[in-house]
A = this chain, B = another copy of it.
Amino acid sequence: VAGYVGGVVPDYQMAAWLMAGYLRGFTAAEAVALTAALVDSGDRLDLSALAGPTVDKHSTGGVADSTTLIVAPLAAELGLQVLKLSGRGLGHTGGTLDKLESIPGMRTSLSERELLDQVGRIGLAVGAQTADLVPGDRLLYALRDVTGTVGNVALIASSVMSKKLAGGAASIVLDVKIGSGAFAKDLAAGRELSELCVALGTAAGRSTAALLTDMSQPLGDHVGNASEIREAVEILRDERGGRLRELSLELVGELAAQAGVVADAVDGRTRAEAALRSGAGLERFARFVEAQGGDPRVIDDLDLLPCAPVRHRVVTDGPGWLAAVDGEAVGMVAARLGAGRRRKDDTVDVAVGIELPVKLGDRVEAGAPLAIISARDEPAARRAEAELRAALAWSPDPVEGPALVVGRVTAG
């Protein structure tokens, strides 16, 4: 890794090495060594100046997953220090940074000093990961992407954990998604990835845990950038329930437990829910927005967020139970509306998106509201409607919705 980052080892040798590792796998010791080499390839954040317990969380990636927007202010309410670095990445929607930047004035390019100062003051900050942090992972990931070597548990775990370790937090909680669109297609694969991540974190002296969570459908009701901010604010206002709220509370509970500020994750979750119900989490979110230059009035007036010109309502064809959702396909519909990025230099349209509040196991009546598509024009909206309908399957008989948190992995 050092040779590759230093330009001594050429692309083709690293590519051959990646394929060898991809096919043969890595021992736990090899994964630990790889992770350490990735961390050593660049700078690390030094959080030692922060008074409270530092925490970080990472999701392996899902559709309509804006947990960070809810988890960070609630965790700060519980006395945790959240310095979250995020990439922009490629995906169905933009990353956390793109979502935040849909708030007028919001700034995410903060210096390390600004980030640390802000966390010290208000308990949370969200900034862009710089190129100096884990450059080895950035280079390796780009090479994996073009050599068919992405889907290996140790390569994924070392990539995820190297960034968390370089980020400096003492406690780390991972949200490992299970589902056909995720790397972990089933619980066994999710458990393997989680156990390796927890082992890598533990080997580096961090208190680490993982929640295994269902990704058989979009997590929240909104797929988009501004619209995911809208949903997060509605949850922090305690106006909206659902799986996104639920998972956010579970993650805060687990973070608090790993940081040792509560007796256990159940206790942590109870305190997180209290912070949410009291409105303290919403206030903390407003302070966070203000601290990063955004308009804090957004928590009271969601119409301050950008809104696409066309709002296209989709209704159901007939009565039935929602039996299957192709979450990847729903994400792709949003991406084609303009919410995502295919290439690094693509611009994200933060105003477009899909609101799909129906979840697996829900019954709908014929002609009932199914979704709202926010688009630039009518043809785009109609195309999105057709694609969205194709991504859903209905049953005439009752269907049971899946559990949300399906497993938990902790050290030892």
Contacts and interface: CB of A to CB of B under 8 A. Distances in A.
Interface in A149-187: 149
A87 interface: no
A15 to B, nearest CB: 4
Number of copies: 2
Contacts of A16: 15-16, 18-19, 147-149
Given A15-B16, A16-B16, 10 more contacts: A12-B12, A12-B15, A12-B147, A13-B147, A15-B15, A16-B18, A16-B148, A16-B149, A19-B23, A23-B23
Interface of A: 10-20, 23-24, 143, 146-149
A148 B15 CA distance: 11
Contacts of A12: 11-12, 14-15, 143, 146-147
Contacts of A10: 11, 146
Nearest to A146: B13
A361 to B, nearest CB: 42
Could you say which of A11, A13, A19 has the most chain B C-beta atoms within 10 Å of its C-beta? Answer: A19
A358 to B, nearest CB: 42
Nearest to A15: B12
A12 B17 CA distance: 10
Contacts of A143: 12
A362 B14 CA distance: 49
Nearest to A23: B23
A11 B17 CA distance: 13
A244 B14 CA distance: 43
Could you say which of A18, A24, A147, A148 has the most chain B C-beta atoms within 10 Å of its C-beta? Answer: A147
17 contacts: A10-B146, A11-B11, A11-B15, A12-B14, A12-B15, A12-B146, A12-B147, A13-B15, A13-B147, A15-B15, A15-B147, A16-B16, A16-B19, A16-B148, A16-B149, A20-B23, A23-B23
Closest 3 CB pairs of A and B: A16-B147, A12-B15, A19-B19
A15 B13 CA distance: 7
Contacts of A11: 10-12, 15
A13 to B, nearest CB: 6
A19 B18 CA distance: 9
A14 B148 CA distance: 11
Nearest to A20: B19
A20 B143 CA distance: 15
A148 B17 CA distance: 9
A368 B54 CA distance: 80
